[in-house]
Amino acid sequence: MKNFLVLSSIIVLFYNCKTLNKPQYTKETIEPSDTYTITKIDSLNAFYFVYCTKNKLTYKIISKKEPNKYNSKVEINKSYHFTLINFPDFSKNENPLTGFNPLVNCFMLDKNTEVCKEKNIVGLYTTKNLKGLSYLEGKEKQ
């Protein structure tokens, strides 16, 4: 019986420590480090390129052009919450090194549009809460 109580106490303690360290996200509580300020918006063919900064670093977000259905167009010099996804996203591959060459600086987005990494830009990214130039609030952590 004594062993059972000790084991139960350890399990409860472990579970409580694990849940205390896990960040809790809701629509209203977004981690401040996910805030980016838009500095430039470019477009080429069927894509937008949104340049944004965080902690003095610049990121390039690729967003496919779409009709503005949402009335919440992003603006230069305003800040938004983004969860950036590397482009190209190799995380879904069984072997993330398949087809990956760190020396490749350009990628074809479609048959007419090539996007390249740029000097002084951290990398190429996408995000789930940007459709065209529309900001979708609440899609940051999905």
pLDDT digits (tens, 9 = 90+) for 79-90: 999 988 888 765
> Is the pLDDT higher at 142 or at 14?
14
Would residue 2 count as lying in a domain? Answer: no
Our count of domains for the chain comes to 1
Q: How confident is the model at residue 18 (pLDDT cuts 50, 70, 90)?
A: very low
Would residue 8 count as lying in a domain? Answer: no
Amino acid at 64: K
8's enclosing H/E stretch is helix 2-21
Q: 46: domain range?
A: 34-135
Contact, 44 vs 114, CB < 8 A? no
